C-alpha cells in the first residue's frame, strides 16, 4: 500500500493550504459573475441540452476511462465551494451562464452522472465530452465520446423521459428545449494538424472541412429526427490564438506570442462554410437552426484585452501557461495572481471571466432566438 513520509505530508498540506488561501482571497474580492445576470422570466424554453467538447463538458469525462479529465484542483477554484467538477476551467462555462439567463437552472450537469434526479434531467444536461470532435477519429484519440455516441445518449435520454413523463410530455419537453453544440476545434488543432492520418485521406484543408461539415449535417439531422426544433451551432474560435497552438507553432515560443494567422484563417473559412450549411438546413429540416459566432468576440478580446477587463491573452493562468492542460495543471502548478485578468485558464481553455464575456456577446442572439 502506498504511504507518504512525514515530509511528503507537510508538502501536500502546504499545497492545499496555499490553494485554499488563494480561493478565499478571490471569493472575498469578486462578486459571482452569475449573480450579475438577471434571468429572463416566462420564456418558452423548457430545457437546455448541450453537445460537444471540453468547452461545454461539465463532467462527463469523469465517468469515462480516459486520462483527459480535470476533476481535481486547481480546476474549479471559482466554482461554488471550489469544486473541481470536471469543467475545463476555473469556474463556470458559457453554457452555465446561458442556462441561468434562461431561468432554467444555475448549472448544466453532466448526463453521465447517475445521481441526477428526474427534475435535473428534465431541465437539461450536457452530453459533451472533452476531447471530442465532429470527426469520429478525434474522440477516439483520447478515448472519449464521439458526437454520435453523444447523440445515442440523448436518444436513451428521450426513451427514459418517455417512460417517466409519457410520450407526449417528452415530445413537448424536447420540442421546446434549446439544443446547443460547441465542437470542432479539436478536429483541426489536434487531429488534422496534429496527426498524419486524416491528412493522408484529405490532402487539402478544404477537403477536410467539407468532410467535417457533412458530419455536422448528419448530426443536426439526427437531432431533428429525435424532436429538436431549436438548435444553436457554435462556430470555431480563432484557434491560432490558443496558447498551446502558439507555443507549438512559433519560432520562439517564449518571445513570439502572437496568434498564428494561418490557423485563424482556417477557422474563418470553416465558419463561413458552416454558416452557409446551416442556412441551407434551416430551409429544409423544419427546425430553427442558428449559427453562434464566437470567433469575433474572442478575436476582439485578444486584440483589445483591456477594453474587456483582461491583461493576459496569450498564456494560461496555470503553470507556465504555454503547454499545461488536464493533469499538467495541478496543485503543484504555479498560478497567476488574478485569473480574472486572463483570457485562458490553462493552455487551451478560457477562464470563467472569458466565458462570461463570450456569453455577454451572444446574449442578443439568444434573445432573438427565443422570440
More confident residue, 20 or 92: 92
Domain presence at residue 77: yes
Q: What is the pLDDT of residue 3?
A: 39
Instruction: Give the global pTM.
Output: 0.91
Mean pLDDT of 277-295: 88
Q: Which domain holds residue 291?
A: 42-368
8 Å CB contact between 187 and 212: yes
90-103 burial by CB neighbour count: b if 16+ within 10 A, else e?
Answer: bbbbbbbbbbbbbe
299 catalytic residue (yes or no): no
* Options 46, 53, 54, 57, the catalytic residue: 54
Domain presence at residue 14: no
Query: Of all residues in the chain, what percent carry a pLDDT higher than 90?
Result: 83
Residues paired with 232 in a beta bridge: 180, 290
* Options 53, 349, 357, 361, the catalytic residue: 349
CATH assignment of the domain containing 272:
3.40.50.1110
Domain presence at residue 30: no
**Number of domains forming the structure of the chain:** 1
8 Å CB contact between 53 and 185: yes
Domain presence at residue 85: yes
Q: What is the pLDDT of residue 28?
A: 41
54 catalytic residue (yes or no): yes
Domain presence at residue 32: no
349 catalytic residue (yes or no): yes
Looking at every residue in the chain, the average pLDDT score rounds to 91
* Options 340, 346, 357, 361, the catalytic residue: 346
pLDDT(26) > 70: no
Q: What is the pLDDT of residue 31?
A: 56
Residues 6+ apart with CB under 8 A from 351: 89, 90, 91, 317, 339, 340, 342, 343, 344, 345
* pLDDT tens track for 90-124: 999 999 999 999 999 999 999 999 999 999 999 99
Cell of 276: 452557409
* pLDDT tens track for 308-336: 999 999 999 999 999 999 999 999 999 99
Amino acid at each position: 500500500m502506498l504511504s507518504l513520509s512525514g515530509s511528503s505530508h507537510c508538502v501536500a498540506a502546504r499545497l492545499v493550504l496555499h490553494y485554499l488561501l488563494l480561493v478565499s482571497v478571490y471569493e472575498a474580492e469578486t462578486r459571482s459573475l452569475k449573480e450579475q445576470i438577471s434571468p429572463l422570466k416566462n420564456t418558452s424554453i423548457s430545457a437546455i441540452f448541450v453537445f460537444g467538447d471540453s468547452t461545454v463538458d461539465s463532467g462527463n469525462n469523469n465517468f469515462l476511462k480516459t486520462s483527459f479529465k480535470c476533476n481535481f484542483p486547481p480546476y474549479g477554484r471559482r466554482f461554488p465551494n471550489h469544486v473541481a467538477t470536471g469543467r475545463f476551467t476555473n469556474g463556470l462555462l458559457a453554457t452555465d451562464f446561458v442556462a441561468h439567463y434562461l431561468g432554467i437552472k444555475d448549472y448544466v450537469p453532466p448526463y453521465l452522472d447517475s445521481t441526477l434526479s428526474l427534475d435535473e434531467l428534465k431541465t437539461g444536461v450536457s452530453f459533451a465530452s472533452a476531447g471530442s470532435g465532429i470527426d469520429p477519429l478525434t474522440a477516439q484519440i483520447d478515448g472519449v465520446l464521439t458526437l454520435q455516441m453523444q447523440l445515442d445518449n440523448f436518444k436513451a435520454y428521450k426513451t427514459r423521459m418517455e417512460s417517466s413523463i409519457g410520450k407526449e410530455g417528452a415530445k413537448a419537453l424536447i420540442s421546446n428545449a434549446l439544443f446547443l453544440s460547441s465542437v470542432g476545434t479539436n478536429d483541426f488543432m489536434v487531429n488534422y494538424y496534429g496527426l498524419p492520418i486524416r491528412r493522408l485521406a484529405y490532402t487539402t484543408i478544404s477537403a477536410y472541412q467539407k468532410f467535417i461539415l457533412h458530419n455536422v449535417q448528419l448530426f443536426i439531422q439526427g437531432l431533428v429526427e429525435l424532436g429538436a426544433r431549436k438548435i444553436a451551432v457554435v462556430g470555431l474560435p480563432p484557434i491560432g490564438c490558443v496558447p498551446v497552438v502558439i507555443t507549438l507553432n512559433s519560432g520562439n515560443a517564449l518571445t513570439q506570442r502572437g496568434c498564428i494567422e494561418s490557423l485563424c484563417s482556417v477557422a474563418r473559412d470553416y465558419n463561413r462554410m458552416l454558416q452557409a450549411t446551416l442556412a441551407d438546413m434551416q430551409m429544409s429540416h423544419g427546425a430553427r437552426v442558428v449559427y453562434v459566432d464566437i470567433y469575433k468576440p474572442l478575436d476582439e478580446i485578444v486584440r483589445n484585452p483591456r477594453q474587456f477587463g483582461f491583461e493576459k491573452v496569450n498564456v494560461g493562468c496555470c503553470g507556465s501557461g504555454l503547454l499545461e492542460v488536464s493533469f499538467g495543471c495541478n496543485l503543484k502548478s504555479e498560478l497567476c495572481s488574478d485569473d480574472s485578468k486572463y483570457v485562458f485558464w490553462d493552455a487551451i481553455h478560457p477562464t470563467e471571466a472569458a466565458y462570461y464575456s463570450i456569453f455577454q456577446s451572444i446574449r442578443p442572439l439568444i434573445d432573438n432566438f427565443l422570440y
